[in-house]
Chains A and B, each alone.
Chain A
Amino acid sequence: MQLITDKQQGEIPEQKINIKAALTIATTALFAGIAQADTLEEDNWEFDTAFLLYSEVDRVSAGEVILNAKKTYADEEVLNLKLTIDALTGASANGAVAQPYVQTFTRPSGNGQYDIAAGDTPLDDTFHDTRVQLNAQWTQPISSDYTGSAGIHISKEYDYLSIGINGNLAVDFLQKNTTFSIGASYFQDTFTPEGGIPKPFASMLIGDSSAPDWHEDFAKTRIGTEDDKTTTDVLLGFTQVINRRMIMQFNYSYSMVDGYLTDPFKILSIVNNEGLAQDYVYENRPEQRIKQSAYLQSMYHFDTTVLDLSYRYMWDDWDIESHTIDSRLRIPLGTGSYIQPHVRYYQQSAANFYAPYLMQSDFESHRPEFASADYRIGEMTAYTLGLKYGMKVNNGHDLSFRLEYYHQAPTDAGFEAPGVLANEELYPTIDAIIAQVTYSF
Chain B
Amino acid sequence: MKKQILLIIVMSIVCSGCTNLGVQPWERDLLAKDEMSLSSSPLDSALDDHIYFSKEASSGGKGFGGGGCGCN
Residues of A within 8 A of B (CB): 48, 50, 52, 54, 64, 66, 68, 82, 84, 86, 88, 129, 131, 133, 153, 155, 157, 159-160, 162, 164, 166, 174-175, 177-178, 183, 185-189, 191, 229-231, 233, 235, 239-245, 247, 249, 251, 253, 255, 257, 291, 293-295, 297, 299, 301, 306, 308, 310, 312, 314, 316, 320, 322, 324, 330, 338, 346, 348, 351, 376-377, 380, 382, 388, 402, 406, 408, 430, 434, 436, 438
B residues within 8 A CB of A434? 51
> Is the CB–CB distance between A185 and B66 below 8 Å?
yes
B51 and A376 contact, CB distance less than 8 A: no
B66 is contacted by which of A129, A233, A402 (Cβ under 8 Å)? A233
Q: Are B64 and A64 in contact (CB under 8 A)?
A: no
Give the complex CA separation of A50 and B38 in angstroms.
19
Indicate if the CB atoms of A166 and B61 lie closer than 8 Å: no
Is B12 located at the chain interface by the 8 A CB criterion? Answer: no
Which of B21, B59, B66, B71 has its CB near the most chain A CB atoms (within 10 A)? Answer: B66
- Picked from B21, B38, B66, B71, the residue with its CB within 8 Å of the CB of A299 is B38
**Alpha-carbon gap, A370 to B60, bound state (A):** 25
Q: Which residues of B contact A406 (CB under 8 A)?
A: 51, 55
B12: shortest Cβ distance to chain A, in Å? 19
Kindly identify which residue among A183, A293, A382 contacts B56, using a CB–CB cutoff of 8 Å. Answer: A382
User: Can you list 29 A-B pairs, Cβ within 8 angstroms, ordered by A?
Assistant: A50-B44, A52-B47, A88-B71, A129-B70, A153-B68, A175-B24, A183-B64, A185-B66, A233-B60, A233-B66, A239-B38, A240-B22, A241-B31, A242-B21, A242-B22, A244-B27, A244-B30, A253-B61, A291-B58, A295-B62, A297-B38, A299-B36, A308-B40, A310-B62, A314-B61, A376-B56, A408-B55, A408-B56, A438-B44
Tell me if B33 and A293 are in contact (CB < 8 A): no
B27→A346 contact, CB < 8 A: no
Tell me whether A66 and B47 are in contact in the complex, defined as CB-CB below 8 angstroms, given that A233-B60, A291-B65 are known contacts: yes
| A255 with B66, Cβ < 8 A, contacts A244-B30, A436-B47 known | yes
Which of B15-31 touch A at CB < 8 Å? 20-25, 27-31
A48 contacts which chain B residues (CB < 8 A)? 42-43
Residues of chain A lying within 8 A (CB to CB) of residue B52: 346
In the bound complex, do residue A235 and residue B63 qualify as a contact, i.e. CB atoms below 8 Å apart? yes
Within 8 Å CB of B42, what residues of A?
48, 68
Let me know if B6 is at the binding interface, CB within 8 A.
no
Q: Taking the complex as formed, is B13 at the interface, i.e. its CB lies under 8 A from any CB of chain A?
A: no
Inter-subunit contact B43/A244 (CB<8 Å): no
Alpha-carbon distance between A385 and B53 when the two chains are bound, in angstroms: 18
A240-B21, A243-B23 known; A255 vs B38 contact (CB < 8 Å): no
Partner of A187 from B47, B63, B66, B72 at Cβ < 8 Å: B66
Known: A239-B38, A241-B23, A308-B40. A233 touches B56 (CB 8 A): no
Rounded to whole Å, the gap between the CB of B71 and the closest CB of chain A is 8
Say yes or no: is B46 at the interface (Cβ < 8 Å to chain A).
yes
Q: How far is the CA of A434 from the CA of B44 in the complex (A)?
A: 11
Residue pair B69, A131 in contact (C-beta under 8 Å):
yes
Nearest CB in chain A to that of B29: its residue: A244
Given A54-B51, A255-B66, A346-B52, also A243-B60 (CB < 8 A): no
Pick the contact of A351 from B44, B57, B68 — CB < 8 Å? B57
* C-alpha gap A438/B41 in the complex (Å): 10
Structural contact, B22 and A324, CB atoms closer than 8 A: no
Contact status B38-A247, CB under 8 Å: yes
Give bound CA distance, A434 to B27, whole Å.
38
> Assuming A253-B60, A322-B57, A438-B43, what are 19 further A-B pairs, CB within 8 angstroms?
A50-B47, A131-B69, A155-B68, A162-B69, A166-B64, A187-B68, A189-B67, A189-B68, A247-B31, A255-B65, A299-B40, A306-B36, A324-B61, A346-B56, A346-B58, A348-B57, A408-B56, A430-B55, A434-B51
B38 to chain A minimum Cβ distance, whole angstroms, is: 5
B31 engages A244 (CB within 8 Å):
yes
Closest residue to A264 on the B side, CB-wise? B70
**Chain B: minimal CB distance from A312 (Å):** 4
Chain A residues within 8 Å of B71, by CB: 88
Q: What CA separation (Å) do A93 and B62 show in the bound complex? A: 29
Q: Which residue of B lies closest to A60 (CB)?
A: B54
